[in-house]
Structures are given as structure tokens and as C-alpha cells.
């Protein structure tokens, strides 16, 4: 912590009334219908921040400038019109882009490229800052093993380690590499959400309870938040849900003992929207004063949009239900972040031009690395430029659905549809569209071509918050389209625009090739065309398992060993040992993705096969080296993945855990050595006593293209 900053905070606290302190812990929506009331509250020092809604400037610079003027007018009320002149902080859901839209967060996880993700969020922060946004409610880093949950599309997938790396990348992208850099224009505060276990909602139902043991909470759901804290994230958002009977909003163990004391988080915690008031609905608070007291005493610093703190905390302090020292600590945390953002020196929204062509190029690259080639029988892909094909499905000209959920300030004229992309990348290609909605189809109008492309997807209203679904199978109309495509007797390529993993078993066999194209933002169409015609070699990998059928959910790769062989994720495709009516293996496993070239792994070795516990605790690491050769005819990026199994432990451990990955470009015939390091962080886990530490013993290390990696060696902690 900065000593000078803490002195300034002490000075401010000594001047503040209880009401003004509570005001710093109150965030409210920028509602034009309440503008008079809001401005009065600002002058009284009763607001600490704003929750900003949709701008929808859509490239209208005049509208954007009016918005900046409005933001500055509200800030002026706080800085020049209030007694102490404390600036407010403007926050918004800037989830995967602002004017330029990047792939959905789950799709960005599929890049397995934290450096690229960091670059995307750095550019996003610059655009958002131009509109007066100082604080983004991202990254959402909830581990999710249930694709029925609508918000899995906003997260990082099923894996704690991948989530930890992506969380840190987004934080660095928004905030810069150091807290000191927050003062620079174009850097904004990040918010790690939703702390914690929101992705474990029972049945995939949004806002529902989570039944999670402390062991699972710490080893599965905590690592991404630990990664965000290590990267210096300045705010954390608590989740709505209860965990085993305790709402997170009122849990001192989770918010203070674990997050602040144990992990060392020194920013502030903000509630999710109106979550403090909802403690009454959850049945643990009888009234607003109860709710405010429970939340603040638990360590929840800022109340988002419910006004429960402002309406009730004064009474709670007067009655001794909340100590003023507790109130002061929460205010200190909020003021600390405002000082770090430089708001006391320069609180105004200003515009700095951005390079739109450069931003679009990065978005195109990110979309290209997000898309996953699931199937390519006979090497049907890539297509030759100028070839003709028949098109079926509704997503060929679609733009709005391609940007994905939580995109409000995009510029629609900058969004590239599949049609736009094909015209740009292969202008001589003719696309013959045919009806696909009936049980019978007419003769193929594209005489002479041998390809049918089926472009199907899921709309935005079926993804995101409060948008869970019960069935992951494609709709009957979509399945009918695929069956009709097959009737032409030609090769069928599926281009699937979904934000979440879908259950593909009923239709997968009807495709000769499949590109899982997600919802990849502004440059979806151009990135897809780059892959279809071979300008980009696909390198995306699945961040969540694709199930065969909905009934397999939850299905995830890093499961523990069981007492009997009842989970066949890694087993043979045999019935009876898992379900009586379905295989236990996934449709496609975690980490999976094909390329237009082939790679050969060889010479896997540990540079030192054993280390003592003292060496590990002192920072020594195992170095695991492998050689990867491009044995195909085109260059491409290969994502080598390193998995670990703790052979014998005091608690049951996963059969495999991702503990390293490296994405490298390799030319045809070229061989590169990739080195993974495994140290205390990678080989430790939280024990029953909540201590994060390694144990002595043997570990099996696997290296390969996905979680099915079989090449292995053994290392040992002595």
C-alpha cells in the first residue's frame, strides 16, 4: 500500500460524517428519470459511484460526446458541489469489448493465449475510458461445469488453471501491468466476479443455490480469483447465490477471512445488483437494517443499486450493530481505489483517438484463434478460394447475434457477417442458398459443386444472465436442416455459432467437417472465412467439454478417481459402467481442437526427476521438456498442454489437472522444444485443514494436444 495515499485517506475519514461515509459505499444507476434526486445526493456526498447502463452510441460521435458531457456534469456535482469534493466512480458491464467487440469470454478462453486476451482487454479499456467508464464489471471468472447455465458463456470454462491464467490476463489488460499504471488514461479498474461458486448453481439454474464443500470451493472455484488477486485486481463482486446455506453476501468467512485476509485482497468488494436487499428474500434478514448490518460486517464494502446501506446503516451504527471502525475500513478500501485511479487529480472523462483498423485486426486475430475445428474427415477443409457451395441455415447474413451477449455500445456497421467475410476473403466464391425448413428439399440449385455448408447457431436471448436452458441438443428445426443437407449426397460442413457447449451426438455423424465458431464479435465473419479458405490455420481448443447428450451433464475432464469404474470420461466407449443408455466419454474432450497440419511429440523428459520438499518450498521447479514437430505441409500454431496427476495423496485428487500450456507457431518440418515448469503452486492443493501446500510423493506428468494426452513421465517430491 502507498503510505502517502493512506495518509490522505486518514485525513478524509477524519472530516467525514457517518452519512458521508455511507455515501461512499453506495452505488446507484444513472437514471435520467431521477436526475434531480441524483444530483442532490451527489451534493450531499451520498453517492460513491454509478452503475451505467447502455450507451448504444453505435459510432455516433456526437452522442458519445453528449454522454461524456453528462458524465462530467455528474462528476462536477460531486467534486465541486459537495462538501468534501470526493469524486464518484462510473462502472459498467464492459464484458468482451466496447465499440469493437471481441469474442465471448468463453470463446476467448478457447484461444489458450493469455497474451492475446490481455491485448484485447487493453484495447477494450481504452475505448471504454473514452466514454467515461472508469471501472468494468469483468472479468467473470466463475468455473462452470454445466453448459445449461446461461452465464457459462461469460466465463472461463471448466478448468481452474486455465481460468487462473485468463483471469490474470484480463486484469492486466484492463488495469495495466501495475497498480501505479491505473492513473494512465485508457486503464480502468477491473472487477473479478462473481465471488464465489456462482457457476456451481444447482441444475444450471441462474441465481440458484450451490452445494459445494470447502475442499471443492478452494481447489476448483477459488484459483481464478486467486489469480486475479495476484494480478492486482482492484475490485471483486460478490455473487448472489448461497453456498451450503450461507449467502455469499453475508459470509464473513468468504468475504473477509478467505478473500481479504488469506488471499490478501486490498481493493473493495461490491455486491452484485441489489444483492444486499435480497438477503431478505433469501430468508436471513428480516429487514433492511438486518441486511445492511450482515453484509457490511461480512466485508461487503459497496452496495450496488439497492440503497440498503444508505437507508439503514446510520441506524445500525447508532445502535452498535455495526462498529464505526468497520464502516471506516470499507470506506478506506473504496477511497484507496479512487486514489489509485487518479480520480482526485483528474476525474474527468476525456477522449483520446483509438486506431480502429488496428483494433479490428486484433479482434479478427482473436476470433480466428477462438474458433475450434472439431472434425475434418478426408481433409475437406480448407476450401479452395473461388469454389462454389450450397448454403443452408440462418446465420449466413446474421450480424447482431454474432456479437454475443453483454454488448451494448458496439457499432453494428463494423460487425462482419459470414457473408461479409466470404466476400472479402474469397470474392469469386458463389454461394447458393436453399430452403432448409421443410422435411423435403428441392434439387440442389448449385449444380456442379460438391459442398454444402450449414450455418446454425443460438440467439443472444438464450445466453447470458437468467438465460439457462434445459436441453443442450440442437432444436428439431436445426437437426432437420442438417438431415436435409445430407440428402444432397455431398460433403457437409457445419459452422456452429453457439456461445456454450452443445450436445452434438444426434447430428455429429451427419457432418464431414465442423467448425465451432462461437459468437466471436465484430470480426466473426472475416475470421471464419480466413479459416474456411485456409488463410488461418485453426488453433482454438475447447475450454469446456462438449457432451454427447444433456443427460451427461455435469461432465468435466478433471474428475477424481472413483472407488469403482463408474465414470468413463477416459474409458472405452462401452455401456453399463456409467449409464445404461449412453457412453461415458464426451463428444469432444477438454483441450481438444484440430489443425490443418499435423504435429508429432517426442523426447518428453524431466531435466531433474526429483526435488526435495525443502527445494520445492524454496522456489525450485521441475522442468518438463518436450519436442514438437510440424509433420504436415502448412505452418500452424500448436497448443501443447501439460497435465499432472498426484499419484498418492491424503485427499482424492483429479485423475488429470491442467498445469501448463504453451501455444507456439511451427513451420512445416520445423521442430521446437517446449518447456513447462512445475513448482509449489502447480503441485499444491488445499488440504482438509485449508492449508495450500504440496505433499511428498510421485506425480505423473502428461504432455499432449488435449486432456487425452498419454505420453507421460514421473517426477517425485522427496
CA distance 248 to 300: 9
Helix (H) or strand (E) holding 237: strand 235-238
Residue closest to 537 by CA, chosen among 596, 600, 599: 596
Percentages helix, strand, coil for the chain (3-state, rounded to 5) are 35, 20, 45
DSSP assignment string, 129-173: HHTT--EE---B----S-TTSGGGGGS--S-HHHHHHHHHHHHHH
Give whole-number Cα distances, 238 to 121, 137, 198, in Å: 22, 11, 9
pLDDT in tens, 586-645: 999 999 999 999 999 999 999 999 999 999 999 999 999 999 999 999 999 999 999 999
Reduced to 3 states (helix: H, G, I; strand: E, B; else coil), residue 255 is: helix
| Maximum Cα–Cα distance across the chain | 84
Query: What is the 8-class DSSP label of residue 475?
Result: P
DSSP assignment string, 335-393: HHHHHHTTTTT----------HHHHHHHHHHHHHHH-EEEEEGGG-PSPPTT--EEEES
Contact 595, 371 (CB under 8 A): no
Residue closest to 120 by CA, chosen among 403, 417, 365: 365
Contact 188, 128 (CB under 8 A): yes
Window from 69-83, 147-161, 431-445, 523-537 with minimum mean pLDDT: 431-445
Task: Look up the CATH architecture of domain 356-538.
Answer: 3-Layer(aba) Sandwich (3.40)
Contact 183, 189 (CB under 8 A): no
pLDDT of res. 56? 45
Q: Is 272 a catalytic residue?
A: yes
For the domain spanning 90-340, the CATH number is 3.20.20.300
Average pLDDT rounded to a whole number, residues 381-399: 93
Give 674's Cβ-side CA count (13 Å radius): 27
Overall pTM > 0.85:
yes
Q: Residues of 420-437 as b/e, b for ≥16 C-beta within 10 angstroms?
A: bbbbebbeebebeebebe
Residue 58 pLDDT level (bands cut at 50, 70, 90): very low
In the chain, CATH 3.40.50.1700 sits at: 356-538
Q: Is 58 exposed, middle or buried (0-12, 13-18, 19+ CB in 10 A)?
A: middle
**Residue 128 grid coordinates:** 471504454
Q: Is 15 exposed, middle or buried (0-12, 13-18, 19+ CB in 10 A)?
A: exposed
Fold of 599-717: Immunoglobulin-like (2.60.40)
Q: Is 5 exposed, middle or buried (0-12, 13-18, 19+ CB in 10 A)?
A: middle
pLDDT in tens, 79-127: 999 999 999 999 999 999 999 999 999 999 999 999 999 999 999 999 9
In the chain, CATH 3.20.20.300 sits at: 90-340
Q: Any alpha helices (H) in 268-320, and if so which ranges?
A: 288-298, 308-318
pLDDT at 441 over 80: no
Q: What is the residue-averaged pLDDT of the chain? A: 94
Residue closest to 301 by CA, chosen among 622, 24, 580, 710: 24
pLDDT of res. 633? 97
- Bigger pLDDT: 63 or 654? 654
Give whole-number Cα distances, 638 to 225, 370, 593, in Å: 28, 13, 10
Report which listed range, 224-238, 454-468, 577-591, is most confident: 224-238
Residue closest to 135 by CA, chosen among 178, 94, 184: 94
Spatial neighbors of 485 by CB under 8 A, at least 6 apart, are: 392, 436, 452, 454, 492, 510
pLDDT in tens, 313-334: 999 999 999 999 999 999 999 9
- Give percent of the chain above pLDDT 90: 86
In the chain, CATH 2.60.40.10 sits at: 599-717
pLDDT at 501 over 60: yes
CA 464, distance to chain mean position in Å, is 12
456 DSSP β-pair partners:
496
CA distance 143 to 633: 38
For the chain, first and last CA: distance in Å? 38
Query: What is the 8-class DSSP label of residue 415?
Result: P
pLDDT at 57 over 50: no
- Bigger pLDDT: 135 or 583? 135
CB-CB neighbours of 211 under 10 Å:
12
Which position among 272, 301, 409, 512 bears the catalytic label? 272
324-340 helix and 308-318 helix, angle to the nearest 10 degrees: 140
Amino acid at each position: 500500500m502507498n503510505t502517502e495515499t493512506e495518509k490522505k485517506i486518514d485525513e478524509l475519514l477524519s472530516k467525514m460524517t457517518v452519512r458521508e461515509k455511507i455515501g461512499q459505499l453506495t452505488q446507484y444507476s444513472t437514471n435520467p428519470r431521477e436526475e434531480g434526486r441524483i444530483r442532490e445526493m451527489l451534493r450531499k456526498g451520498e453517492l460513491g459511484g454509478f452503475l451505467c447502463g447502455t450507451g448504444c452510441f453505435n459510432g455516433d460521435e456526437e452522442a458519445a460526446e453528449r454522454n461524456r458531457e453528462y458524465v462530467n456534469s455528474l462528476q462536477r456535482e460531486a467534486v465541486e458541489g459537495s462538501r468534501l469534493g470526493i469524486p464518484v466512480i462510473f462502472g459498467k458491464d464492459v464484458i468482451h469489448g466496447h465499440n469493437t467487440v471481441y469474442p465471448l469470454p468463453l470463446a476467448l478462453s478457447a484461444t489458450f493465449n493469455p497474451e492475446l486476451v490481455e491485448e484485447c482487454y487493453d484495447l477494450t479499456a481504452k475505448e471504454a475510458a473514452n466514454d467515461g467508464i472508469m471501472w468494468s464489471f469483468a472479468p467473470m471468472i466463475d468455473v462452470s461445469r454445466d453448459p445449461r447455465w446461461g452465464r457459462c458463456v461469460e466465463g472461463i470454462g471448466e478448468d481452474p488453471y486455465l481460468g487462473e491464467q485468463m483471469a490474470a490476463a484480463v486484469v492486466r489488460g484492463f488495469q495495466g501491468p501495475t497498480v501505479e499504471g491505473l492513473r494512465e488514461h485508457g486503464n480502468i479498474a477491473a472487477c473479478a466476479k462473481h465471488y464465489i461458486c456462482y457457476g456451481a448453481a444447482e441444475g444450471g439454474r441462474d441465481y440458484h443455490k450451490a452445494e459445494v464443500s470447502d475442499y471443492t470451493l478452494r481447489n476448483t472455484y477459488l484459483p481464478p480469483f486467486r489469480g486475479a488477486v495476484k494480478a492486482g485486481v482492484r475490485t471483486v463482486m460478490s455473487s448472489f447465490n448461497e453456498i451450503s446455506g450461507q449467502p455469499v453476501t453475508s459470509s464473513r468467512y468468504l468475504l473477509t477471512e478467505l478473500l481479504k485476509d488469506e488471499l490478501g485482497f486490498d481493493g473493495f468488494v461490491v455486491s452484485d445488483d441489489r444483492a444486499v436487499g435480497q438477503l431478505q428474500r433469501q430468508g436471513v434478514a428480516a429487514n433492511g437494517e438486518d441486511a445492511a448490518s450482515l453484509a457490511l460486517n461480512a466485508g461487503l464494502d459497496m452496495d450496488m443499486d439497492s440503497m440498503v446501506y444508505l437507508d439503514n446503516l446510520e441506524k445500525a451504527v447508532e445502535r452498535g450493530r455495526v462498529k464505526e471502525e468497520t464502516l471506516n475500513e470499507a470506506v478506506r478500501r473504496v477511497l484507496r481505489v479512487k486514489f489509485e485511479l487518479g480520480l482526485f487529480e483528474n476525474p474527468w472523462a476525456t477522449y483520446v483517438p483509438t486506431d480502429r483498423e488496428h483494433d479490428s485486426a486484433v479482434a479478427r486475430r482473436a476470433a480466428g484463434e477462438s474458433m475450434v475445428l472439431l472434425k475434418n474427415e478426408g481433409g475437406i477443409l480448407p476450401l479452395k478460394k473461388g469454389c462454389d457451395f450450397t448454403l443452408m441455415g440462418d446465420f449466413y447474413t446474421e450480424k447482431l447475434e454474432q456479437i454475443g451477449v453483454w454488448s451494448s455500445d458496439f457499432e453494428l456497421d463494423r460487425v462482419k457477417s459470414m457473408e461479409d467475410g466470404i466476400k472479402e476473403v474469397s470474392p469469386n466464391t458463389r454461394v447458393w442458398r436453399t430452403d432448409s425448413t421443410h422435411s423435403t428439399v428441392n434439387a440442389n440449385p448449385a449444380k456442379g459443386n460438391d459442398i454444402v455448408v450449414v450455418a446454425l447457431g443460438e440467439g443472444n436471448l438464450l445466453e447470458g444472465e437468467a438465460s439457462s436452458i434445459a436441453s443442450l441438443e440442437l432444436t428439431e428445426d436445426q437437426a432437420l436442416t442438417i438431415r436435409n443437407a445430407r440428402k444432397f449426397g455431398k460433403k457437409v460442413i457445419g459452422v456452429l455459432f453457439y456461445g456454450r457447449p452443445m450436445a452434438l451426438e444426434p447430428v455429429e455423424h451427419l457432418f464431414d467437417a465442423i467448425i465451432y465458431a462461437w459468437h466471436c464479435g465484430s470480426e466473426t465473419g472475416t475470421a471464419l472465412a480466413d479459416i474456411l479458405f485456409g488463410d488461418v490455420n485453426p488453433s482454438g481448443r475447447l475450454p469446456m467439454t462438449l457432451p454427447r447428450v444433456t443427460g451427461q451433464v455435469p461432465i468435466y475432464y478433471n474428475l477424481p478417481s472413483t472407488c469403482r469404474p463408474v465414470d468413463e470420461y477416459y474409458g472405452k466407449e462401452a455401456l453399463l459402467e456409467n449409464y445404461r443408455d449412453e457412453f461415458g466419454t464426451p463428444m469432444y474432450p477438454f483441450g481438444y481442437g484440430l489443425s490443418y497440419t499435423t504435429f508429432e511429440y517426442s523426447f518428453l523428459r524431466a531435466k531433474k526427476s526429483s526435488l526435495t520438499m525443502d527445494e520445492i518450498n524454496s522456489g525450485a521447479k521441475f522442468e518438463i521438456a518436450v519436442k514438437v514437430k510440424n509433420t504436415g505441409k502448412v505452418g500452424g500454431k500448436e497448443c501443447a498442454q501439460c497435465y499432472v496427476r498426484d499419484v498418492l495423496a491424503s485427499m482424492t485428487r483429479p485423475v488429470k489437472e491442467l498445469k501448463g500450456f504453451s501455444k507456439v507457431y511451427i513451420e512445416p518440418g520445423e521442430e521446437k522444444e517446449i518447456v513447462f515448469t512445475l513448482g509449489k503452486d502447480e503441485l499444491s492443493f488445499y488440504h482438509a485443514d485449508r492449508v495450500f501446500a504440496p505433499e511428498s510423493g510421485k506425480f505423473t506428468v502428461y504432455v499432449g494436444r488435449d486432456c487425452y494426452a498419454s505420453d507421460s513421465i514421473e517426477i517425485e517430491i522427496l
